[in-house]
Chain A
């Protein structure tokens, strides 16, 4: 079965090319539509003007950014929504997962299906649905409030309530998704651990903190990072629901980026905002991973 050496060698070379050929489509697309834009965006952030008039201006866009009150407002709005929304949503999601997972509960499949349903809806559709539900004068939510004897709320017209409205919509949209993630994670916690903890006299809360939480830690970390990244990039809901208003109360960083890049066509400045956003995402993600993933040895 001795093949002639040159042929064998040729075949060998061809075989070693196979993985690269398989990767070729991915790498070509990646280079053109991901890597290049990321690099180009940084270059553009160092320039001013567009088209033939574009010229290098160093870090002037970043200087402008630091001194731009509206940028800080957008960052603050995004931060407020993040700090309020992510803990509420993930907390609710854990409770929901524990509830559905409880041995006393029936019809688990239906609850799981129902709570997951909002995450299948697009954000634009969600925004439109809620723009009606949250209408001050005829919206269903204020109608429900009126049934309970509560006054009508100007959800989309009042700066503070508009933020609450965005939090509400995001929570409706994503809580079930995270609950189902946690539910999947809960299936991985060995039953014996709960039994052992019960034998040791641990109550429900103690079992939760010393058995459930440690086992869910990788998933918790993943969901915290994922939802933080998602909220930092928040665009669709405020775009559809409030256009960033009233009074810029729901102007997020992404909306501000969009306005600068595609309403005022100030590409350099928009790219600087994009890079600032990336920096925030990466730094916050790294902090969360260090903070939550730190002592994983146990």
Chain B
């Protein structure tokens, strides 16, 4: 009953084709004009409308501005959440203090609560703070990531205490220990966590859709969804170009940092 290698490999190749086919299709369609996009049978080779589509997209949404919004929010959110997770994870892993278990359990328990519960109160809070339509309204709620704290605690647990104590003997303060001992050793985990955080931040949709009300403040997914949602006068080449612009950088990043991507996205799963 042994399945021979070749048929199985072919099946896997076909499935992989189904998985990456849409990306090929996206990249080719993004270079076609509307007539080509809706030709029958579908045109499977690149067209000549690359610049046209890019220009139209830029005219419609202000591409540089939107990309800047997405990049700024994702970068600040990633770095902030990374720092918060590192500090908290370090506290949980390397110190014993009153309430350690209780606090940890409370933090983690919100992982089961759907984000939707927080939408209305967050909306009202941001209105009150006058932060609507401001990067801060999107960045702030994403800085405390229970999963990140959990991951850092797990990773730091395996760090030998002697290493930290040696540095403390030499008179280093905790922040110095953290920066010069913990961070260098934890670099792979930090890299994996940053990828996880950045990807989540780059792709987040519901909350930015609510919090960023003016077109100039929109992130890429929000701008694309509103462009896509406009029934009249829709330039399909521009929409597909925008989708490619939001997708391709992540693809390239993924191909370069595949180890960090996979371990970052799987970190919770294999530890459970």
Contact = CB atoms under 8 A, between A and B. Distances in A.
Interface string B190-229: 0000000001001101100010000000000110110011
Interface stretch (A15-23, A66-74, A159-167): A15-23
Contact of A122 (B26, B88, B107, B221): B221
Interface string B97-108: 100100100110
A290 interface: no
Given A180-B262, A229-B114, A172 B19 contact: yes
A32 B18 CA distance: 44
Nearest to A39: B121
A55 interface: no
A23 B103 contact: yes
Contact of B272 (A99, A172, A222): A222
Contact of B15 (A26, A40, A115, A177): A115
Q: Bin chain B's interface residue count.
A: 35 or more
B243 A128 contact: yes
A63 to B, nearest CB: 19
A116 B19 CA distance: 8
B228 A128 contact: yes
Nearest to A281: B114
Contacts of B180: none
Interface in A97-114: 99-100, 102, 104-107, 110-111, 113-114
B144 A30 contact: yes
Q: Bin chain A's interface residue count.
A: 35 or more
Instruction: Pick the 8 closest A-B CB pairs, nearest first.
Output: A122-B203, A104-B5, A114-B16, A19-B95, A37-B118, A29-B144, A26-B88, A37-B121
Interface of A: 16, 18-20, 22-23, 25-27, 29-30, 32-38, 40-41, 44, 96, 99-100, 102, 104-107, 110-111, 113-125, 127-133, 135, 137-138, 140, 143, 172, 176-177, 180-181, 184-185, 203-204, 218-219, 221-223, 226, 229, 232-233, 235-236, 239-240, 243, 254, 257-258, 261-262, 267, 270-271, 274-275, 277-278, 281-282, 285
11 contacts: A26-B85, A34-B141, A34-B144, A116-B258, A122-B205, A122-B221, A124-B221, A127-B228, A184-B269, A185-B270, A262-B119
